[in-house]
Amino acid sequence: MRRRRLIPAFVIGVLATAALTGCIGPIGESHTCVDWVWFDSPGDAAEEADAVVAGHIVGQNGTTQLYGEQAPIWTVDVDEWITGDGDDELEVVSTPATCEATTPADPVGALEDDARVIVFLHDDPDVGWRTITPFHGITPAGPDGGIPELWPSDQTGE
């Protein structure tokens, strides 16, 4: 009679739970793996944001730790508070993608020029203003200078 070797169900459950809740890095280091909301349109992102501003990226002003990752801090020169209210200049943390196989380009840094941008903000108690997600936190302004109807092709996930 042959015996089959079985892996106890609880071991499989533990491994599956670990895969969903955290990333394993170097020994003693853990990261938070965030499953980000995907917004169908910039209007949807604006509805979920704590504030939305139109302005220009002035430059990078350091970094901070967020979700176990280095996150750049950007200075934003605010032309208009579309929703919310605040200063004419903000320090905004670019929310990092977590537990990615490769580090994606920082979307805020990619828009550091004279172009007007729309920034979708979350008021984070740990870091202050940050983009609401790594993928939909900033976008070029629409033709009228406001929130565009659609994401640019590099923000659609296709």
Model confidence pLDDT, tens digit, residues 124-151: 999 999 999 998 999 999 999 999 999 9
Domain count along the chain = 1
126 located within any domain: yes
157 located within any domain: no
Q: Quick one: pLDDT at residue 40?
A: 95
- Bridge partners, 59 (sequence order): 75
The domain containing residue 45 runs over which residues?
37-151
Other C-beta atoms closer than 10 Å to the C-beta of 89 total 11
Q: Quick one: pLDDT at residue 101?
A: 57
14 located within any domain: no
Share above pLDDT 90 across residues of the chain, in percent, rounded to a whole number: 56
pLDDT surpasses 90 at 98: no
Place of tokens 């934003």: 76
CATH number of residue 52's parent domain: 2.40.50.120
Q: Where are the alpha helices (DSSP H) in 63-139?
A: 107-110
Q: Which of 80, 72, 76 is nearest to 56 (CA)?
A: 76
pLDDT surpasses 80 at 123: yes
Place of tokens 């070797």: 5
pLDDT surpasses 70 at 2: no
Q: Which of 19, 51, 44, 43 is nearest to 33 (CA)?
A: 19
2 located within any domain: no
52 located within any domain: yes
